[in-house]
């Protein structure tokens, strides 16, 4: 799996690879930039489910921004282990973050963008 930042290459890469949205971040007050992962080595037994799991991943990220925490937890639990386990570390970090948001809801200005640096 490779990580790319920004949308410039996403459309081109999607022609050959599975490209999934990860977090959107700001780095030292920069404009938000979205990170994507490029899944290259998918186990053969997962090919039949790729479209279903791509949609579930997209729905996860949409519902994350909508603060639909319980949908997100269920989606993550389903997605864990798929993609040849290449994205499990992202799912675990996201789940930990969401569990914290369930305990203490982010303020109304929250957009899902993660400040870094």
Confidence of residue 1 (pLDDT cuts 50, 70, 90): confident
Domain housing 12: 2-116
Neighbouring CB atoms inside 10 A of 38's CB total: 18
pLDDT of residue 109: 93
Cα 21 from Cα 57, distance rounded (Å): 8
Q: Distance between the two ends of the chain, CA-based, in angstroms?
A: 24
Confidence of residue 40 (pLDDT cuts 50, 70, 90): confident
Report the alpha-carbon angle 83-75-18, nearest 5: 30
Structural domains in the chain (count) = 1
Confidence of residue 11 (pLDDT cuts 50, 70, 90): confident
Could you tell me the two tokens for 94? 């996201």
**pLDDT tens column, 45-97:** 999 999 999 999 999 999 999 999 999 999 999 999 999 999 999 999 999 99
Distance of CA 104 to CAs 47, 92, 94, 98, Å? Answer: 38, 18, 15, 10
Answer for the pair 39, 87: CB distance below 8 angstroms, yes or no: yes
Strand order through the sheet with 18-27: 2-5, 33-39, 18-27, 114-116
Cα 74 from Cα 63, distance rounded (Å): 11
Q: Does the pLDDT at position 29 exceed 80?
A: no
Q: Does the pLDDT at position 22 exceed 90?
A: yes
pLDDT average, residue stretch 6-19: 88
**pTM for the complete prediction?**
0.93
């Amino acid at each position: 799996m490779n990580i790319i930042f920004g949308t410039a290459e996403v459309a081109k890469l999607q022609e050959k690879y599975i490209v999934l949205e990860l977090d959107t971040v700001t780095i030292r007050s920069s404009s938000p930039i979205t990170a994507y992962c490029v899944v290259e080595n998918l186990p053969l037994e997962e090919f039949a489910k790729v479209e279903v799991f791509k949609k579930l991943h997209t729905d996860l990220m949409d519902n994350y921004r909508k603060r639909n925490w319980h949908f997100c937890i269920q989606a993550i639990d389903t997605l864990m282990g798929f993609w040849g386990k290449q994205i499990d570390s992202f799912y675990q970090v996201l789940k930990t973050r969401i569990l914290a948001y369930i305990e203490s809801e982010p303020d109304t200005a929250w957009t899902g963008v993660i400040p870094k640096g």
